[in-house]
Homo-oligomer: A and B are copies of this chain.
Amino acid sequence: MPGGPETNNRMKKHTKGTAHPKGEFALIEWIRKNTPLKVRKFPIGIGDDAAAVRVVSGELIVLTTDIILEGTHFRLPEATPYHIGWKAICSALSDVAAMGLRATAAVVSLALREDLSMGFAKRLYRGMAKASSEFDVAIIGGDIGSWDGPIAVAVTVLGETGGLRPIRRSGARPGDWLMVTGTLGGSSWGKHLRFRPRLNEGFILNKTYRIHAMIDISDGLLADLGHILAESEVGAILSAERIPISSAARRGRARPLGASAAPRFSLKSGKSALHHALYDGEDFELLFSASPRESQKILTQKPLGRLRLSHIGEVCKKKGLFILYPHGNKRRVEPVGYEHFRTKKSS
């Protein structure tokens, strides 16, 4: 019954590697069950990288919100105010990139400690303004409050489809190839403050090819792949030697951002480079699935220019997530992210 009170109970974990994951996942699971949406008006609800609304004229727009928190998503002085502003805008833009759409406008809600100087606030805004001009997204409104708490920046971005179909997490099909942009791992050693959301790349992929499912890697490759698999009700097998490992993850240590920069983790992490690539969060690269034929076309035509594009595995019918190691070892892994992994290790 189209237009009837059918509900859309999809859920999304918007959180980026926060410190209290189990509670948040359970909370979101609970919210999911308690938030029915009318499918015709809201074809994509909670549970994807962005939500979609069919406005009065029939046009589909998307909205996504993202909050970054001092101590969870950045630390002073490693993060300069400029970096905080940049990261706040770019984290939200990355969610629109994951839908394969263009971002048009952003509104910003900002909580600032009372003791921060005007200069600090201006530098933070300059980071936001720079990101907004780089990615052609207008900052059109906001709210600023001051308190004695840490810094919090919530950004909501409007994406316009212009007739293009938003790419969901739920479209992966058995047989699809899994592809990822860029290189992974070690983002917390610097990239997480300077990354460029793959907005243009997501849009080009959506416009030119039939992409079945897409997500941005914020919680970690395995965790975010897990979201695609759960929403698509499929499994996957990854090839360990095909995972594109970043040089930061290979080095396994921090490259200082400046004189005042303090690495967030030990200089030697004691983990393998592959481990970092699989579990670290905040890569903000795109992970997507497409048919083998379409994937081969993309790999041949190189629509993303010099940006690395890797075929890292396949979607399969059998549920579960497996990694194939060289010499044929196959191991089942849990689709968890870095923070979750840490939680498990410490318990």
Contacts and interface: CB of A to CB of B under 8 A. Distances in A.
Given A53-B158, A55-B160, A156-B156, A65 B142 contact: yes
A139 interface: yes
Contact of A107 (B58, B64, B105): B64
A346 interface: no
Given A34-B129, A59-B55, A129-B35, A65 B141 contact: yes
A222 B244 CA distance: 60
Nearest to A146: B20
Q: By CB atoms of chain B within 10 A, which of A26, A37, A51 has the most?
A: A51
A109 B26 contact: no
A152 B111 contact: yes
A41 B140 CA distance: 11
Interface in A126-174: 129, 138-150, 152, 154, 156, 158, 160-163
Interface string A1-30: 000000000001011101110011011101
A18 B160 contact: no
Contacts of A18: 144-147
5 smallest A-B Cβ distances: which pairs?
A20-B146, A14-B143, A154-B154, A67-B109, A109-B154
Given A58-B57, A65-B108, A147 B145 contact: no
8 contacts: A14-B144, A20-B146, A42-B140, A65-B154, A67-B143, A67-B152, A69-B111, A72-B145
Given A118-B23, A129-B34, A51 B107 contact: yes
Nearest to A52: B140
Given A107-B51, A149-B71, A28 B144 contact: yes
A56 B140 contact: no
Question: Interface SS of chain A: helix, strand, loop or mixed?
Answer: mixed
The residue among A12, A46, A68, A154 with the most chain B CB atoms within 10 A of its own CB is A154
Interface in A44-78: 45-46, 50-51, 53, 55-59, 61, 63-73
Given A63-B158, A65-B143, A149-B152, 20 more contacts: A14-B143, A23-B118, A24-B145, A26-B118, A27-B121, A42-B138, A45-B141, A46-B140, A51-B141, A63-B107, A65-B142, A66-B109, A67-B111, A71-B149, A72-B146, A73-B145, A109-B109, A109-B154, A111-B152, A152-B154
